[in-house]
Amino acid sequence: MTGSLIVQRDVVMVTTDGVELRADVYRPDTPAPVPCVLTRTPYDKSRQLTVLAGLDPWRAAEAGLAVVCQDVRGRHGSGGVFEPFAHEVADGVQAVRWVAEQPWCNGRVGMAGRSYAGATQWLAAIGGAPGLRAICPTVTASELYEGSSYQGGAFQLGANLFWAHILTRRQGRRLTADYEHLPLSTMDAFRDTSAGFYYDWLAHPSRDEYWTRHAVNGGYASAEVAALNIGGWFDPFLHGTLENYREASRLRPGQRLILGPWGHGGVWGGYPDHRLPDMPGADLDLTGVALEFLAGQLGDGVPHREQLGLSEDEPVLLYVMGAGRWRRESTWPPARAVPTPWYLRADGGLSPEPPGDEPTDSFRYDPADPAPTVGGPVMIPGMVLGSSFGPLDNRSVEARPDVLTYTSAPLSAPVEVTGQLSAVLFAATTAADTDFVVKLSDVRPDGASRLLAEGIVRARYRHGTHRPLPVRPGAIERYRVDLVATSTVFQAGHRIRVTVTSSSFPRFDRNLNTGGPIGAEDLRQARVATQTVWHSAVRPSHVLLPVVS
């Protein structure tokens, strides 16, 4: 017992197939049973930071809630074999039932946690966990393929290596050689470890049944819970956070969404270790917000006033970058946001006016010298999250000869862009396969080009990621690039910039331009490609900005 908190370590739950899962229990020192919040994590329940990343048990006890932090199957104190997401529906349902049946729990259960521990919440919910009333998933994907292990058909090398390093405790090593290693599938660092899935992920470059069998986005109709979704504009899993909220809110009330200028790390409290410059007032007491939400959902049904003014009428709270303010919305994306094309123009211009008869632009992409990742929604081994993600200045990247840059004139009035982002490129390549990367930046009066969003499409997946379609060298194709989302105000005097290139390494794996199997080749097989981008009346390449009046 610690003060008014009773702590029980390594409490055992046995699954129906005989596997022992261990949990630490934190509960108020009271004879009356209380509601309970469960976190299921692969990151070691005995570490204080792991517990706090779910829900602070000391503050929870003050609010009259118990907290249970359980190691998932095959991790740390729990038995069995770890297979990412494979057992989280069945184990999650059983864990919720087990918690609800404990004498110190009143049968009302919620869940909390971030990243993988956010997905375990959704998977327990779509499994119909009895007694589960509310969840609070933070920076969480909606599936393991799109917006997670892959994006637009490209392998998310940085994030995948980052996670594999964490699971195998390799993050203290010098890791540059790992993401430069080719062929990707021949790096033996994770064989016979808890990160052996890395090779399975490489072996499934298309969105096939391997990925969909454990996807959250296949089961929203079964998730009879209220959900407080928390995401960051610079989180690589933002796509999933938005999809989880958007689809669940179409089915039932009680869904909430908070979006801030945050990355993937430090997502408890007010993100104290990941503040970004020029983001005044961005800190929130997210622990307090989560406690208020969960206490209200797990209470006795008496209506309560939610923190931050969220309600069924205004269930969305987002931080508007550039303006430095929080704002509530009735929907995501905001209904008043108008998708507005800004066109790539001759001589590096960017304008809402469509082009006429204009010449093409070209560049050479060499996989041996890829354009580097600088900022954005990244998790990259060997880089500190607090200094490598977010709206970093991309002028060094934009100065490269393999990057096309399109910039508007200085704005005469502020332009707000809030909602889903995408781009359409009419382009051709001399290669059998290649990538196209599109970035959106805010160019300040001092010339700094602050990255806001980034997207990629692998040419063989231009018509969808379920199966590849070969590219005919020289053929003009239409490529849609998903840049996910943002909320920002481009202030008067600033300029809007779109850049086009063919790599963002090591966030994404290098496309070797051969059309061969992903992960099976090295630079000896690589080919240099010439990329050509059209911006004419017939082929008007553009970025689609959700402009808010």
3-state secondary structure of 162: helix
Return all residues near 149 (Cβ < 8 A) that are at least 6 apart.
155, 156, 159, 160, 201, 211
Q: Residue 419: beta bridge partners?
A: 486
Q: Which of 264, 274, 494, 542 is catalytic?
A: 264
Cβ density class 455-474: b for 16+ within 10 Å, e for less:
bbbbbbbbeebeebeebebe
Asked whether the beta carbons of 375 and 392 are under 8 A apart, the reply is: yes
Q: Count CB neighbours of 200 within 10 A.
A: 12
Cα separation, 152 vs 223, whole angstroms = 27
Strands 66-71, 20-28: pairing kind: antiparallel
**Longest CA span, the chain:** 79
Using CA atoms, how far residue 274 sits from 83, 388, 506, in Å, is 30, 10, 21
Q: Which of 235, 361, 402, 482 is catalytic?
A: 235
Enumerate long-range contacts of 44-49, CB under 8 Å, 24 or more apart.
44/71, 44/75, 44/76, 45/69, 45/70, 45/71, 45/76, 45/77, 46/9, 46/76, 46/77
Q: Count CB neighbours of 492 within 10 A.
A: 12
Asked whether the beta carbons of 337 and 419 are under 8 A apart, the reply is: yes
Q: Is the dihedral of CA 328, 334, 337, 341 positive or negative?
A: positive
Asked whether the beta carbons of 281 and 326 are under 8 A apart, the reply is: yes
Q: Alpha-carbon dihedral of residues 442, 444, 447, 452, nearest 10 degrees?
A: -20
Exposed/middle/buried for residue 520 (C-beta within 10 Å: 0-12, 13-18, 19+): middle
Q: Which of 24, 56, 115, 494 is catalytic?
A: 115
Query: Could you tell me the end-to-end alpha-carbon distance of the chain, in angstroms, rounded to an integer?
Result: 56
Q: Is the dihedral of CA 359, 547, 277, 239 positive or negative?
A: negative
Using CA atoms, how far residue 3 sits from 10, 38, 58, 59, in Å, is 20, 21, 10, 12
The tokens 């517990």 sit on which residue?
51
Report the interhelical angle of 116-126 vs 88-100 (nearest 10°): 80
Let me know if 115 is a catalytic residue. yes
φ, ψ of residue 546 to 5 degrees: the values are -80, 95
Let me know if 535 is a catalytic residue. no
Cα separation, 494 vs 409, whole angstroms = 8
φ, ψ of residue 298 to 5 degrees: the values are -95, 5
Exposed/middle/buried for residue 67 (C-beta within 10 Å: 0-12, 13-18, 19+): buried
Amino acid of residue 35: P
Let me know if 235 is a catalytic residue. yes
Please identify every residue annotated as catalytic. 115, 235, 264
